[in-house]
A and B are shown apart, each in its own frame.
Chain A
Amino acid sequence: MQYVLEVESLKKTFDGFVAVDGISFRVSHGECFGILGPNGAGKTSTIRMIYGFSPITSGNIKVFGLSISQGWRTIKSRIGVCQQDNNLDPDLTVLQNLEIFARYFDMPKDQALHRADQLLKFIALDNRKNSTVTDLSGGMMRRLVLARALINNPDLLILDEPTTGLDPQSRHQVWNKLEDLRAKGLSVLLTTHYMEEASRLCDRLVIMDRGRILVEGKPMDLIKEHVGQDVIEVAEPGDELQKYIRSGSMVYEDLGHRLIIYGHEGEKLFRTISDEYCKEGCILRMATLEDVFLKLTGRELRE
Chain B
Amino acid sequence: MASPRISKRFVRVWQRNLTVYQKMWKILFLPPLLEPLFYLLAFGVGLAVMVGGVYYRGSEVSYVSFIAPALIAINIMYNAFFENTYASFVRMYFQKTFDAMMATPLSLEEIITGEIMWGATKSVIATAIMLAVVSLFGLVKYPEGLLIIPLAFLGGVAFGAIGMFFTSIVKTIEMFNLPIFLFVTPMFLFSGTFFPLENLPLWAQKLALAFPLTHLVKLTRSFSLGLIDSALLWSCAYLLLFCLIWFPLAISGMRHRLIK
Contacts and interface: CB of A to CB of B under 8 A. Distances in A.
Interface of A: 14, 51, 53-55, 69-74, 76-77, 79, 81, 83, 85, 87-92, 96, 100-101, 103-106, 148-149, 152
B103 A76 contact: yes
Given A90-B95, A100-B16, A103-B15, A54 B2 contact: no
Contacts of A100: 15-16, 19
Interface string B1-15: 111000001001101
Top 4 A-B pairs ranked by shortest CB distance? A87-B96, A81-B103, A104-B104, A73-B3
16 contacts: A53-B259, A69-B2, A71-B3, A72-B3, A73-B105, A73-B107, A81-B103, A83-B99, A85-B99, A88-B100, A91-B95, A101-B100, A104-B9, A104-B104, A104-B105, A148-B100
B2 A104 contact: no
A14 B99 contact: no
Contacts of A55: 259
Contacts of A105: 104-105
A76 B1 CA distance: 16
B27 interface: no
Interface string B179-211: 000000000000000000000000000000000
A282 B141 CA distance: 93
Contacts of B2: 69-72
Contacts of B97: 87, 89
B96 A85 contact: yes
B100 A53 contact: no
A55 B256 CA distance: 12
B105 A87 contact: no
B260 interface: yes
A76 B105 contact: yes
B100 A92 contact: no
Interface in B92-138: 95-97, 99-107
A88 to B, nearest CB: 8
A79 B102 CA distance: 12
Nearest to A89: B97
B100 A87 contact: yes
Contacts of A81: 103
Given A83-B99, A96-B19, A104 B12 contact: yes
B62 to A, nearest CB: 43
B49 interface: no
Nearest to A79: B103
A91 B104 contact: no
Contact of B259 (A54, A103, A149): A54
Contacts of B99: 53, 83, 85, 87
A71 B1 CA distance: 8
A204 B259 CA distance: 30
B50 interface: no
B20 interface: yes
Nearest to A47: B103
Given A85-B96, A92-B20, A106-B12, 11 more contacts: A53-B102, A53-B259, A69-B2, A73-B3, A73-B107, A85-B99, A87-B96, A87-B100, A91-B20, A104-B9, A105-B104
